[in-house]
Amino acid sequence: MPLTATDPIKVIFAIILPPLGVFMEVGLKGHFWLNILLTLLGFIPGIIHALYVILKH
């Protein structure tokens, strides 16, 4: 997938607050809820998942 102009902003949000970055990418779908769970279990897994979702979509 080609990078868009908003991807750097999403990546910054993914590092600061991972669910926000995922929400900006996919909305209120399964990835968002999974990311909230991962962020609650550990901040680093939430960041990794958020970056994966943003760069994959």
Q: What is the DSSP string of 8-42?
A: HHHHHHHHH-HHHHHHHHH-SSHHHHHHHHHHHH-
pLDDT tens sequence for the chain (57 residues):
677 888 899 999 999 999 999 999 999 999 999 999 999 999 999 999 999 999 998
| Residues with Cβ within 8 Å of residue 34, at least 6 apart in sequence | 49
Q: What is the pLDDT of residue 1?
A: 63
The whole-angstrom separation of Cα 9 and Cα 41 is 24
Q: What is the pLDDT of residue 10?
A: 92
The whole-angstrom separation of Cα 14 and Cα 48 is 9
